[in-house]
Amino acid sequence: MKQILSIQSTVTIGFVGNNVAGPVITHLGHQPLLVNTIALAAHPGYGLFAGGPLPDATFNAILRALPNLGRFKIIGTVITGYLGALTQVNAISQLIKDWQLEQTRGSYILDPVLGDNGRIYVDSKLVTAMRDSLLPLANFVTPNQFELELLSGQTVRDVPSADKAAQYLLERYPHLNGVLVTGINHIDNSIHDRFISHTGLTDMAFEKRNSGIAGGGDLLTTIFASWLASGHSSKISFKAASEQAHAIIDRSNNHLEIKLLENIDLLKPIPKL
């Protein structure tokens, strides 16, 4: 059993961030280590903002405690998602650097939760900080179509332009092994998840829904991380994550929430190597 460190949001109502990571990582046979960046009553899509970021002193103390508790050598994968404050970037980047020195075979997955459908829903300074401080450390990055635009500085409108932007990231950031782009709109009214690496690309195509569902990207990233932590290749992990995340999304009829617990058995056991 590998331990997966997940640094992202928590909510009282619904399934986004660590509310997705905890049950999914456990169901797939690993131990989740959860650090919350922000605690909210519900995600902002509900139209009510209640809660706030963890105080810097508390957040930083938790991150600093992990190596002192002997966790670094047994954390196989780190995920970072929605951040609660700009000041959290420095603490996270230092943690990743220290962890990578001890765990040279681990994978850091950056889920850049910055916006969607042309709208940034975090402080714009956080976009720059994530691009400058976290992306250079990431082994994998999992943006949606709009977030790929923000990170690459290129226009992404369809599959070819997404591939071009992903290749740009791979060329610019030496640590990156792969770019997993979700929700790419294409000219035939389909929607695509694409995994672009130095050795090739893999495509998963789906029928386009009327709207996305909150937490869907968090779900896909967590499944991907869990398969990677089990020793599977990034290509196999991507295909499993895309297929199974969409199976659960397709059974969720409310755009505000994925129906995770009702459908968690759609997450197939990870084959042992």
For 197-214, letters b (16+ CB in 10 Å) and e give beeebbebeeeeeeebbb
Q: Is residue 273 part of a domain?
A: no
* Residue 25 falls inside a structural domain: yes
Specify the pLDDT at position 1. 63
Q: How many folded domains does the chain comprise?
A: 1
Query: For residue range 144-171, what is the model confidence (pLDDT) as tens digits?
Result: 999 999 999 999 999 999 999 999 999 9
* Residue found under tokens 């131990």: 31
Q: What is the pLDDT of residues 73-111, one digit of tens each?
A: 899 999 999 999 999 999 999 999 999 999 989 999 999
Does the residue 272 lie in any domain?
Answer: no
Domain annotation covers residue 271: no
In a domain, 239, yes or no: yes
In-domain check, residue 243: yes
| pLDDT value at 136 more than 90 | yes
pLDDT at 122: 86
42: CATH = 3.40.1190.20
Using an 8 Å Cβ cutoff, are 263 and 20 in contact? no
On the 0-12 / 13-18 / 19+ scale of CB atoms within 10 A, 120 is: middle
Can you tell me the distance from the alpha carbon of 122 to that of 240, in angstroms, rounded to the nearest whole number? 30
- Considering only CA atoms, which of 169, 133, 177 is closest in space to residue 151? 169
DSSP-derived 3-state class of residue 191:
strand
What is the pLDDT of the chain when averaged over all its residues?
93
Residue 93: partners with Cβ closer than 8 Å, 6 or more residues away: 133, 134, 137
| pLDDT at res. 60 | 97
Domain that includes residue 122, residue range: 3-266
pLDDT at 165: 97
For β-strands 178-185 and 140-141, DSSP reports them as parallel
The whole-number average pLDDT for the span 4-30 is 96
For the segment 110-129, what is each residue's pLDDT rounded down to a tens digit?
Answer: 999 998 887 888 888 999 99
pLDDT tens per residue, range 194-233:
999 999 999 999 988 777 788 899 999 999 999 999 999 9
d(CA 49, CA 46): 8
Give the pLDDT confidence score for residue 117 in this predicted structure. 80
Is residue 75, in this structure, part of any structural domain at all? yes
Residue with the two structure tokens 């979700």 = 182
Burial class (CB in 10 A: 0-12, 13-18, 19+), 146: middle
**Using one digit for the tens of pLDDT, what is the confidence trace for 238-261?**
999 999 999 999 998 877 889 999
For 188-245, list the strands marked E by DSSP. 190-197, 200-207
Task: Say what the pLDDT of residue 116 is.
Answer: 85
pLDDT of residue 199: 92
Dist CA 37 CA 203 (whole Å)? 32
Cβ-contact 110, 139 below 8 angstroms: no
Question: 169-191: per-residue pLDDT in tens?
Answer: 999 999 999 999 999 988 778 89
Q: What's the rounded mean pLDDT across residues 30-42?
A: 96
Tell me, yes or no, whether 255 lies in a domain: yes
Cα 233 to chain centroid, rounded:
17
